[in-house]
Structure 1
Amino acid sequence: MKPSQLVAGLIVIGAAAWIGSGVIGSDEPAAGAPDAPAAAAARPPFRVAVQMVANEDHARRVVLSGRTEADRRVDVVARTNGIIENLPVRRGSVVRQGEEMAVLSDEAREALVGQAKARLEQRRAELKARLRLIETGNLPALQKPVLEAELSAAEAAYAQAEAERDRNVIRAPFDGVVNVLHVREGQALQVGSPIAEVVALEPMLAVVEIAERELGGVRVGDAADVALANGGAARGRVRFVSAVASPQTRTYRVDVELEADGAPIPDGITCEVTLTLARVQAASVPRSALVFSARGELGLRIVDGDGIVGFAPVRLAEDGMERVWVTGLASSVSVIVQGQDFVAEGQKVEPVTHVSRGS
Structure 2
Amino acid sequence: MKKRTLYLIIGLLVVGVIILLVLKSKGVIGGSDAVQVAVDTATYRDITQVVTASGKIYPETEVRVSSDVSGEIVDLPVAEGDSVHKGQVVARVYADIYSSIVQRSEATLKQAQAQLANAQAALGAYKARLDQAKYTYDRDKQLLQQKVIAQSEFEQAESAYYSALADYEAAQQQVKSAQFAVQSAQADLKQAQDNLYRTTITAPMDGIVSVLDVKKGERVVGTAQMAGTEIMRIADMNVMEVRVDVGENDIPKVQLGDTAIIEVDAYNDRKFKGLVTQVAPSSQAVAQQTSTAATLSSSADQVANYTVHIRILRSSYADLFDPKRPRFFPLRPGMSASVNIQTETRHHVLAVPINAVALRNISSNKNQNHATFSNNTDQQEVVFKLTGQNLVRMVPVKTGIQDDNFIEIDSGLQAGDVVVSAPYNAVSKTLNDSTKVKVVPHQQLFEVTTTAPK
1:153 offset after TM fit, Å?
A: 0.7
Amino acid of the structure 2 residue aligned with 1:30: I
Q: 1:75 to 1:166 in 2, by over 3 A?
A: closer
Q: 1:284 to 1:201 in 2, by over 3 A?
A: farther
Equivalent residue runs for 1:49-88 within 5 Å = 51=41, 53=43, 60-70=49-59, 72=62, 74=64, 76-77=66-67, 79-82=69-72, 84-88=73-77
Q: 1:346 to 1:85 in 2, by over 3 A?
A: closer
1:148-204 deviations in whole A, cap 9, x for unaligned? 2111111111112112312322333544414234313xx252535857332524553
206-215 or 340-349: which moved more? 340-349
1:12 alignment counterpart:
none
1:10-39 deviations in whole A, cap 9, x for unaligned? xxxxxxxxxxxxxxxx9xx936838969x9
2:260 alignment counterpart:
224
Distance in 2 of aligned mates of 1:271 and 1:340: 32
**Structure (1/2) with the larger strand percentage:** 1
How many residue pairs match? The answer is 313
Amino acid of the structure 2 residue aligned with 1:67: K
Distance in 2 of aligned mates of 1:296 and 1:75: 61
SS in 2 for 1:142: helix
1:90 offset after TM fit, Å?
A: 1.8
Equivalent residue runs for 1:1-359 within 5 Å = 30=10, 33=14, 51=41, 53=43, 60-70=49-59, 72=62, 74=64, 76-77=66-67, 79-82=69-72, 84-124=73-113, 126-127=115-116, 130-131=119-120, 134=123, 137-138=127-128, 139-140=168-169, 141-174=172-205, 175-184=207-216, 187=217, 189=219, 191=221, 194=229, 196-202=231-237, 204-229=240-265, 230=267, 231=270, 233-241=272-280, 242-244=282-284, 246=286, 250=303, 252-258=305-311, 261=314, 265-277=331-343, 283-287=349-353, 290=356, 295=371, 300-302=383-385, 309-312=392-395, 317-320=401-404, 324-327=406-409, 329-330=411-412, 332=414, 334-336=416-418, 345-346=433-434
Q: 1:214 to 1:63 in 2, by over 3 A?
A: same
Amino acid of the structure 2 residue aligned with 1:33: V
Q: 1:196 to 1:143 in 2, by over 3 A?
A: closer
Distance in 2 of aligned mates of 1:308 and 1:283: 27
1:131 offset after TM fit, Å?
A: 4.3
Distance in 2 of aligned mates of 1:257 and 1:280: 22
Distance in 2 of aligned mates of 1:188 and 1:246: 36
Q: 1:180 to 1:121 in 2, by over 3 A?
A: same
SS in 1 for 2:70: coil
Distance in 1 of aligned mates of 2:285 and 2:349: 31
Amino acid of the structure 2 residue aligned with 1:198: R
1:116 offset after TM fit, Å?
A: 2.0
Distance in 1 of aligned mates of 2:348 and 2:51: 15
1:100 offset after TM fit, Å?
A: 1.8
Distance in 2 of aligned mates of 1:49 and 1:255: 39
1:68 offset after TM fit, Å?
A: 0.9
1:264-298 deviations in whole A, cap 9, x for unaligned? 53111222322133678995435398377863898
SS in 1 for 2:255: coil
Amino acid of the structure 1 residue aligned with 2:305: Y
Distance in 1 of aligned mates of 2:204 and 2:213: 15
Q: Contact 1:201/1:266 (CA < 8 Å) preserved in 2?
A: no
Q: Contact 1:77/1:195 (CA < 8 Å) preserved in 2?
A: yes
1:89 offset after TM fit, Å?
A: 1.3
Distance in 1 of aligned mates of 2:193 and 2:417: 81
- Give the alignment's Cα RMSD to 1 decimal: 5.0
SS in 2 for 1:226: strand
Distance in 2 of aligned mates of 1:233 and 1:279: 19
1:206 offset after TM fit, Å?
A: 0.8
Q: 1:166 to 1:286 in 2, by over 3 A?
A: same
204-213 or 296-305: which moved more? 296-305
1:131-158 deviations in whole A, cap 9, x for unaligned? 4654671543333421221111111111
Q: 1:188 to 1:331 in 2, by over 3 A?
A: closer
Amino acid of the structure 1 residue aligned with 2:14: A
Any stretches of 5+ residues in structure 1 without a counterpart?
1-25, 350-359
1:49 offset after TM fit, Å?
A: 9.1
Q: 1:172 to 1:101 in 2, by over 3 A?
A: same
SS in 2 for 1:33: helix
**Structure (1/2) with the larger helix percentage:** 2
1:129 offset after TM fit, Å?
A: 6.3
Q: Contact 1:67/1:271 (CA < 8 Å) preserved in 2?
A: yes
SS in 1 for 2:112: helix
Distance in 1 of aligned mates of 2:112 and 2:346: 75
Distance in 2 of aligned mates of 1:154 and 1:73: 35
Amino acid of the structure 1 residue aligned with 2:249: R
With the length of structure 1 as denominator, give the TM-score of the two structures: 0.64
With the length of structure 2 as denominator, give the TM-score of the two structures: 0.53
Q: Contact 1:238/1:254 (CA < 8 Å) preserved in 2?
A: no
1:16-71 deviations in whole A, cap 9, x for unaligned? xxxxxxxxxx9xx936838969x969x9999x998565799x65223333321345
